[in-house]
Structures are given as C-alpha cells and as structure tokens.
C-alpha cells in the first residue's frame, strides 16, 4: 500500500462483538486473523463448512497465538432458513453486535451451469446479495442497541469495482446473460443496499460502507481455468500475475473501517483505501428504494420475515413524536 494507506493503527476491540462471513478462505481468512488479534470480546465466524472453519481457527492460532475469543457458527447463505436461524440464535445467545463484516461471496465460474439454491434463487444472487440483505436486516436492531457515540457500529460490505458493469432490470430480474453478468449485478445490488442503509440510518450511531479489496490471489482461482479455452486460461493466468495477497485485501478493508477520516465525501465506498465515487446507478435513491422493496417482497415469498428496519423506523418515529 502507498504511504497514505499505511497510517493505520490497530484498533482495540476490547468488549466488542464481531461477525465475519466468508471467513474460511482468501480475504476473509486473513481478515479473521487480523480482527482476532485486536482483542474482541467475541469474534463469530459464520461458515458454511465447519471443517473449514476449524482450519481457520488453526490458521488464526498460528498467526497470533490467540483464538480463545473466536467462535465457529454454521450458516449457509444459500439457504435463507439457515441465515434466519443464525440471526435468531445470535440475538438470543449474544444480543450485542458492534461490527458486521458481510464478506462472503460467490464468484462466477465460466461454463459452470448456473444453478439455483434450495430457495429457488440463482446462487450468486442469493449468496452475494439477498442473504446478506436478510442477515443485515435481522441484526439491525441488535446493532442499534449496541451502538454508542464512543463506538459507532459499522456494517462493512466486501464489494467490487466491477459493480460499474452491473444493471438491474425488474421486468426481467432473473433473465441474466451469463454467470459473470449475474456477479456484477449482485455487486451493484450490494452497493445500492449499503448506500440505502446509510440513508435509512442517518442520525444514528450506525454506518455502512462498501470496499473493493482489489484483485486477490485465492485458492479458488484454479476453478476459473477449468474447461476454459487455452486463450482464456492464458489471459486469466496473466491477470493473476498482478493479483495481491489475501493479507493485502484484508488491509484494504480494515483501513477504511478503522481509520479516522478527516474528509468524508459521503459515498462510503472505497477502492485502494480511498473513498471514491461509485457508479451513478449505485447512488440512485429511487432505484435503491425500489430494490429494497423488491428484496423484501422476495424474502417474504420464501420465509416468515419482517424487516428489522421497519420496526426500527416506526420506533424511531414514535420516539421523535414523544419528544415534540
């Protein structure tokens, strides 16, 4: 990272509770090791595969010798019921949350058959967006109760600069052209959601930010080459020459999360540790409201679900009316 990006002091998370999704590989694995070293009260890794979660625990132990504050909880973002069960268990057994890292994501594999989840949604769309929309909404009240001026709570969403290629067509929502097209659309939706959260949570001690961690070397990279043409394999391998380490990607997330900013542009989207303007579509308030309502409708068609923001919004309005 450049000189301005290295002015980062490790935060003290004593007494704080943190959730990280997608912690078993790549950026998420490195992110978990960094966060564990900041001494949180509880660091909960939400993982689909418990064996891989245990491997992450061993990795954390080897990195900083301390994993007593780390817990492995199972959650499958490809199953809305699993997400809801995780949130309900967390609210009942923990009841406080200061940092939510929505880091998990599914990457498009060219020539992979586009498949659906058990909820009958395309898997990349559900894992990268809809389930994270659900998880965040279910935990909003807990974040609200945990937030304070001394330690504002944050929702950190791992995103991609490729969101600029995304589109949203509500008349043909599932009629995507390719797995790659679905991926960039899901990232656009995630960024729109992050921005809409900030509008809805204005005046509270909770904020949402989205971060592009960069092109990262990952153990799943070889999957991109499976069954590819020779030219495409060469192109992919060439791109990987410029890819950064998972530790680099984790720091790209940590710096904007914990650094004190002297300038706030109001975008809450970061590339290369700098706040930058995302695509105009990501900033479109009318589109954001429509996507939020549409997402609510999709969830309610599959599970018993009530948006936490709805209850938060009504209670906030009631509180304001009492003050008048």
Q: Nearest Cα to 294, choosing from 181, 172, 210, 183?
A: 172
Q: Among all chains, which residue has been given the structure tokens 């699993």?
A: 82
* Catalytic residue chosen out of the listed positions 34, 183, 224, 270: 183
Q: Nearest Cα to 107, choosing from 210, 165, 186?
A: 186
Q: How far is CA 215 from CA 12, 31, 54, 158, 243, in A?
A: 28, 16, 26, 12, 5
What is the sign, positive or negative, of the torsion defined by CA atoms of 288, 192, 16, 149? negative
Q: 207: which 2 tokens?
A: 């904020």
Q: How far apart are CA 62 and CA 298, in angstroms?
A: 42
Active-site residue flag, 224 = no
Q: How many CA atoms lie within 13 A of 76 on its CB side?
A: 11
44 contact partners, CB below 8 Å, separation of at least 6: 17, 18, 19, 20, 70, 71, 73, 90, 94
* Chain centroid offset of residue 285 CA: 20
How many residues are there in the chain? 324
Q: Nearest Cα to 101, choosing from 12, 21, 206, 193?
A: 21
So which residues are the catalytic ones? 183
């Amino acid at each position: 990272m450049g000189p301005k990006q290295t002015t980062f002091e490790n935060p003290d998370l004593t007494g704080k509770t943190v959730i990280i999704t997608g912690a078993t590989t790549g950026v998420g694995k490195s992110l978990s090791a960094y966060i564990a070293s900041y001494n949180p009260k509880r660091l909960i890794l939400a993982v689909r595969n418990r064996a891989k979660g245990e491997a992450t625990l061993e990795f954390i132990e080897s990195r900083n010798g301390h994993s007593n504050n780390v817990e492995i909880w199972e959650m499958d973002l490809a199953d809305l019921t699993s997400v809801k069960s995780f949130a309900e268990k967390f609210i009942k057994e923990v009841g406080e949350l200061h940092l939510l890292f929505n880091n998990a994501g599914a990457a498009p594999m060219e020539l992979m058959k586009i498949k659906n989840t058990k909820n009958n949604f395309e898997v990349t769309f559900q894992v990268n967006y809809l389930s994270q929309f659900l998880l965040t909404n279910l935990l909003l009240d807990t974040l609200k109760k945990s937030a304070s001026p001394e330690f504002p709570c944050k929702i950190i969403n791992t995103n991609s600069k490729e969101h600029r290629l995304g589109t949203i067509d509500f008349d043909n929502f599932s009629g995507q052209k390719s797995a790659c097209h679905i991926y960039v659309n899901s990232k656009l939706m995630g960024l729109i959601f992050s921005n809409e959260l900030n509008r809805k949570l204005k005046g509270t001690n909770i904020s949402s930010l989205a971060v592009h961690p960069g092109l990262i070397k990952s153990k799943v990279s070889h999957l991109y080459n499976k069954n590819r043409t020779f030219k495409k394999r060469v192109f992919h391998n060439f791109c990987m020459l410029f890819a950064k380490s998972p530790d680099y990607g984790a720091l790209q997330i940590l710096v904007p999360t914990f650094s004190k900013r002297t300038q706030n542009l109001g975008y809450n989207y970061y590339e290369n540790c700098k706040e930058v303007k995302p695509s105009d579509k990501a900033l479109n308030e009318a589109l954001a409201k429509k996507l939020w309502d549409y997402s609510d409708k999709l969830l309610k068609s599959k599970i018993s679900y009530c948006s936490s923001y709805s209850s938060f919004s009504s209670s906030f309005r009631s509180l304001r009316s009492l003050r008048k």
